[in-house]
Amino acid sequence: MHPLLTQKKPDFEAVVAHLLKELGSLRTGRATPALVEDITVQAYDAAMDLKSIASITVPDARSLAIQPWDKSLIQAIEKAIRDADIGLNPTVDGDVVRLVMPQMTEENRKKLVKTMKERLEEARVSLRRVREEAREDVSKKEKEKAIAEDEKYKALEELDKLTKEYVDRVDELGKKKEEEIMTI
């Protein structure tokens, strides 16, 4: 692989990593800590991620239990989950906040697939943006006479292959997530 492309590979990986995080936060009817772990809670006069102030467990396939390490944060956690507007209604059960996933309807599943496809398209656009930045870098190097013209074309060809690999990876992630969403 051309050295210029090796420098851009982490950018491609970052796009895929961001997409994975986005897809993980989509509710599929199955409980997963990824749904709530990044919700911002006002605690100790600062904004903190839920995962940094509480343990999040999955007692069964359709519920989450959030147990703060400091019991005084129960109300703040409940409020943060309500304010996050993720379609889940928290209930306080002693020193635990419980979330029960409602049954997914066909209409909800279709909306979720639509949202997921929007996120996939955003990822594809980001990949193309990284590709364009790399193309500009290669062209700049050629103008500066740092690389030969034939080396430029070889690098651009490799870049197109690399971009296609990542776009295919994004599409594959999308297919898996759609299958997961549509499975009852």
51 and 17 within one domain: no
Q: What is the pTM of this model?
A: 0.69
**Which tokens go with 120?**
């996939």
Q: Which of 100, 120, 147 is the last residue of a domain?
A: 100
Which residue, among 132, 107, 108, 124, has the nearest Cα to 172 in the 3D structure? 124
120 and 62 within one domain: no
More confident residue, 54 or 85: 54
Structure confidence at residue 175 as a pLDDT band (50, 70, 90)? very high
Query: Number of structural domains, the chain?
Result: 2
Q: Considering only CA atoms, give the Rg of the chain.
A: 22
CATH number of domain containing 15: 1.10.132.20
Q: Which of 100, 134, 149 is the last residue of a domain?
A: 100
> pLDDT tens digit string along 122-171?
999 999 999 999 999 888 888 888 888 888 888 889 999 999 999 999 99
Q: Residue 50 in contact with residue 36, Cβ under 8 Å?
A: yes
Q: Residue 48 in contact with residue 73, Cβ under 8 Å?
A: no
Domain that residue 20 falls in: 3-24+105-182
Alpha-helical (H) ranges within 25-105 are 74-84
